[in-house]
Amino acid sequence: MKPTDSDRRLQPSNQPGNSLPLRPSRARHVLGLRPKFVLLFSLILIVVCSTLSGYYVEARREAMTDNLRQLGTILLTSVANNEHFQYAGIVAEDRATLQQFIDGLVAVQDVVYVVITRPDGTVLAQHTKGSRQSPSELVRSPNHPLYPESQIIKRVFRSPNTIPLATEFSLPTKIGSVLALDELVYDFAMPILRRPQGSPSSPALSFPLDEGSADSSSIQPVLISAVLQIGLTDAYLKQELAVMIRDILIFTAVIIVVGALITHLLTLRITRPLRSLATVAQQVAEGRSPPLMAPSSRDEVGQLTNMFNLMTTSLQERAAAISGNMATIEHQVSQLTTLHQVSAAIARTLDLKQILRIVLQLLITNLGFTRMFVTLRHRERDTAYVAHIAGVAPDIEEAARRLDVPIRNDGGLLADLLIHGKPLLVLHLEAVADRMNPPMLELARRTGVTSFVAVPLQSHNQVLGYLAGDRGSQPCTAEDLHLLMTIAGHVAAAIDNANAYTHLEELTLHLEQRILERTQELTVANDRLQEHDRQRSLFLSVASHELRTPMTVIRSFADNMRDGIAGPVSEQQLTYLTRIGHNLSRLTRIINQLLDWSQLNSNRELLRLAPVSVDRVALMVADSLRAVAAEKSMTIEIAPANGLPAAQGDSDKLEQVLWNLIGNAIKFTPPGGRITVDFQTTPEGFIQTSVADTGCG
């Protein structure tokens, strides 16, 4: 385990053996605390001012738009409801009166056109200020007239109402060169109504007018004399909004600049002490001892300065403590490394001698032990012997290997270790000389042991031995005892595994020997069985051949007697001779079966394949068995097999199979029955032969 960078920075630079402390690198191109504060407060001011300004501008725009709508409604209704305008201007079509009212409307700054339309769609009077030609100017040119669309008039005629019809449409010319707002024109149209005084047939349009509160009986038709349209532009409104937005932007910029300046001055008072603290912190990180800082105020920054002074003093004290504990940490790291190496060495092999040699050598090399040895317990003899020793002369090693100490519960050190499983820390050898075995005491004195530690090797609640070591002239400590106790568990498990592996190897070798012996016994038994089988096959073959010779002689004499060569034969004698021939045939078949079994065991080729006619073989077998069937009054019928092809087979075996099938049919069919042999050709090209009888089977 290596010390971290923070530990190195805390170590005093004047101590020998310490490495040069690392200097913290300063980040480049990074905003400091002061610019961050300025940017933060500026951003807040921008957001707040923009939000408030936007809200104010939108509210102002809506109010001005409402005022413009109200102005158009007032102008339209005041003129349309004027009786002088209705009768003198509209009904009488007095041009002077119309021009007077139109000039009064056009005199309003926002009005851009006035149109009076007759009911038949013709224009009675109109006037326009024209369209704007430049986005930066509000001057209008009469040479480019501006009038509303005819669709608005049609809507008024379709649904006349006393409420003005407001229609909004935009013009292609923008307002302003920076904001470039669309110019909107609000068209206000309203019919000029009058009630008929004479005949209902009037040239003006007549419509019923619903006054809302009156019932249906009070509704009277009215006449539309004309439609008055007034167009109002929002160009002056939006120009005023543009000026207001410009003033707001200037005011917002001034507020932001003033706020940023104030923020800069405030953060300057905060960041100066913090920079001083950063300088002192860098000196501490470099391992130097800077002087304590004096607080510049009593606020949080001053409190931070006092706490930083306390931290600097504490860090210096901790650096001294850490420097004193580094040796202890390095020693513990060495112990942990040794423990890891011991575990790795144990995991790599199951050879007990190699494990003990590697472990003892690691303990001597890494942990500073002078001599180490392992003593194991012999279960059968109940004695202790030195399994491995390291760090001694060859003669001492040879003498230690000859030791074979009996284990007795006599209160000695050996009993404490191997019987009771107690670890031992002996500070002075002579203090426990009376409790040690004399040969082992003599060996310890020869090697110069003055103090040692010994821990039992336990696995599965059994003491396998013990591990012991010493540090030469230096006395052993409790830390050495605890370390060996930790390592002893791994060593004991390795010894137990190695013993189990050795036992498994012996068991495997014993099993292989047993398998070899059993294989030899089975081989001998198999040879004997093969010899018995060969003799049985030979006996069957010889017996079959020997039986066939007298059977042939008997058949010959029986045939001669039945043919009358030896003299006349009566009916009864002929019957007896026929039965003798039938039984001779049966014995012949049995002998043939014995020969087949003999050939089967000798792995010979049994089938002699050749083209054979199945129906002819069946007819021959049936003729041979008709006499036997006649004794039971049975009939054997062979179905005609016209066009039956020849089959590839063994004629003798086929005859034997048919003989068995027909013979069984004769045997199990009651007297007077019928046996039928039929042949068929299957789609696969095989010949199917069936033997049917009238028996119960």
Q: Report whether 181 contacts 175 (CB < 8 A).
A: yes
pLDDT confidence band for 421 (50 / 70 / 90): confident
Q: Which residue blocks in 11-81 are alpha helix, DSSP H?
A: 33-80
Chain centroid to CA 227: 77
Q: What's the rounded mean pLDDT across residues 37-59?
A: 85
Q: Report whether 677 contacts 691 (CB < 8 A).
A: yes
Half-sphere exposure of 368 (CA within 13 A, CB side): 13
What is the rounded CA–CA span in Å between residue 370 and residue 391? 6
What is the rounded CA–CA span in Å between residue 421 and residue 418? 6
- In the chain, ranges of CATH 3.30.565.10 domains: 607-697
Q: Tens of pLDDT along 613-657?
A: 888 888 888 887 887 888 888 898 988 888 788 888 888 788 888
Q: What are phi and psi of 472, to 5 degrees?
A: 70, -125
- What SS3 class is residue 205? strand
**Cα angle for residues 466, 471, 474 (degrees, 5° grid):** 135
What is the rounded CA–CA span in Å between residue 656 and residue 592? 9
Q: What's the rounded mean pLDDT across residues 330-338?
A: 70
Burial class (CB in 10 A: 0-12, 13-18, 19+), 310: exposed
Long-range contacts (CB closer than 8 Å, 24 or more residues apart) made by 338-345 = 338/362, 338/363, 338/366, 338/367, 338/487, 339/486, 339/487, 339/490, 341/366, 342/487, 342/490, 342/491, 343/490
- In the chain, ranges of CATH 3.30.450.20 domains: 52-196+203-208+219-245
Torsion of CA 667, 669, 671, 675, to 10 degrees: -100
Q: Tens of pLDDT along 368-385?
A: 788 988 989 888 888 888
Instruction: Please give the radius of gyration of the chain, using alpha carbons only, rounded to the nearest integer.
Output: 66
Cα separations in angstroms, 265 against 8, 81, 261, 270, 694: 39, 67, 6, 9, 130
329: enclosing H helix or E strand: helix 300-348
The yes/no answer on whether domain 52-196+203-208+219-245 falls in CATH 3.40.1350.10 is: no
Res 599: pLDDT: 65
Residue with more model confidence, 159 or 121:
121
Q: What's the rounded mean pLDDT across residues 571-590?
A: 79
Q: Report whether 335 contacts 479 (CB < 8 A).
A: no
Res 141: pLDDT: 74
- Which among 633, 685, 689 has a CA at the least distance from the CA of 659? 689
Class of domain 607-697: alpha beta
Q: What's the rounded mean pLDDT across residues 554-568?
A: 80
Q: Report whether 225 contacts 89 (CB < 8 A).
A: no
Share of the chain above pLDDT 90, in %: 4
- What SS3 class is residue 243? helix
Res 453: pLDDT: 92
455: enclosing H helix or E strand: strand 452-459
pLDDT at residue 111 tops 80 = yes
**Cα angle for residues 595, 598, 603 (degrees, 5° grid):** 125
- In the chain, ranges of CATH 3.30.450.40 domains: 332-507
Residue with more model confidence, 312 or 349:
312
Class of domain 332-507: alpha beta
Cα separations in angstroms, 435 against 48, 99, 409, 429, 430: 93, 143, 11, 10, 10
396: left (phi over 0), alpha (psi -120 to 50) or beta: alpha
Q: Which two tokens stand for residue 408?
A: 């007795």
What is the rounded CA–CA span in Å between residue 423 and residue 452? 11
pLDDT confidence band for 456 (50 / 70 / 90): very high
Q: Report whether 24 contacts 287 (CB < 8 A).
A: no
What is the rounded CA–CA span in Å between residue 141 and residue 147? 13
Sign of the alpha-carbon dihedral angle for 373, 378, 384, 385: negative
Share of the chain above pLDDT 70, in %: 85
Burial class (CB in 10 A: 0-12, 13-18, 19+), 582: middle
What is the rounded CA–CA span in Å between residue 1 and residue 328? 11
- What SS3 class is residue 425? strand
Res 16: pLDDT: 38
Residue identified by tokens 């317990």 is 377
Mean pLDDT (the chain, rounded): 79
459: enclosing H helix or E strand: strand 452-459
pLDDT confidence band for 604 (50 / 70 / 90): low
Residue with more model confidence, 287 or 520:
520
Least confident of 264-278, 490-504, 556-570: 264-278
DSSP states of 330-372: HHHHHHHHHHHHHHHHHHH---HHHHHHHHHHHHHHHH--SEE
Q: Report whether 163 contacts 175 (CB < 8 A).
A: no
Residue with more model confidence, 406 or 132:
406
Q: Which two tokens stand for residue 248?
A: 């707001």
Q: Report whether 412 contacts 435 (CB < 8 A).
A: yes
Q: Which two tokens stand for residue 38?
A: 């300025």
**Cα angle for residues 471, 472, 473 (degrees, 5° grid):** 110
How many residues would you count in the chain?
697
Residue identified by tokens 């409801």 is 81
- Which among 624, 631, 634 has a CA at the least distance from the CA of 676? 634
DSSP 8-class letter at 159: S
What is the rounded CA–CA span in Å between residue 488 and residue 339? 10
Cα separations in angstroms, 452 against 82, 195, 402: 130, 135, 21
Burial class (CB in 10 A: 0-12, 13-18, 19+), 661: middle
pLDDT at residue 544 tops 80 = no
Q: Which two tokens stand for residue 321?
A: 């403590």
DSSP states of 84-131: HIIIIIIIS--HHHHHHHHHHHHTSTTEEEEEEE-TTS-EEEEEE--E
Query: Does this model's pTM top 0.75?
Result: no
pLDDT confidence band for 215 (50 / 70 / 90): very low
Q: Which two tokens stand for residue 540?
A: 């069957």
Q: Tens of pLDDT along 658-668?
A: 888 888 888 88
Q: Which two tokens stand for residue 464?
A: 């396998």
**Cα angle for residues 472, 477, 478 (degrees, 5° grid):** 150
Res 454: pLDDT: 93
Q: Tens of pLDDT along 482-507?
A: 888 888 888 888 887 877 777 788 88
Output helix, strand, coil percentages for the chain, rounded to the nearest 5.
Answer: 55, 20, 25
